[in-house]
Amino acid sequence: MLTIALPKGGMLKDSIQLLQAVGLDFSLFLDSANRQLQITEPTGRATGLLVRAQDVPVYVEYGQAQLGMVGYDVLREKKPAVAHLVDLGFGGCRLSVAVKTTSPYRSALDLPAHSRVASKYVNSARDYFQSLDLPVEIVPLYGSVELGPITGMSEAIVDLVSTGKTLKENNLMELEVLYHSSARLIAHPLSYRVNPYNLKALIDQVREQTEAIAA
CA–CA dist 77, 121 (Å, integer): 6
Rounded CA separation 136/13 (Å) = 38
* Buried b / exposed e along 101-123 (16+ C-beta atoms within 10 A): eebebeebeebeeebbbbbbbbe
Average pLDDT over residues 37-45: 96
Residue range 93-181, CATH number: 3.40.190.10
Query: Which pLDDT score is estimated for 213?
Result: 86
Q: Residue 195: which region, alpha, beta or left (left: phi > 0; alpha: psi -120 to 50)? A: left
Per CATH, the homologous superfamily of domain 2-91+182-214 is: Periplasmic binding protein-like II (3.40.190.10)
In this prediction the pTM is 0.94
What is the rounded distance in angstroms from the CA atom of residue 151 to the CA atom of residue 168? Answer: 16
What is the average pLDDT value for the chain, to the nearest integer? 96
Inter-residue contact 4 to 49 (CB < 8 Å) = yes
Residue 172's Cβ-side half-sphere holds a number of Cα atoms within 13 Å equal to: 29
Mean pLDDT for the stretch of residues 95-113: 97
Interval 137-187: pLDDT, tens: 999 999 999 999 999 999 999 999 999 999 999 999 999 999 999 999 999
What are the sequence ranges of the domains in the chain?
Answer: 2-91+182-214, 93-181
With beta carbons less than 8 A apart as the criterion, state whether 147 and 185 touch.
no
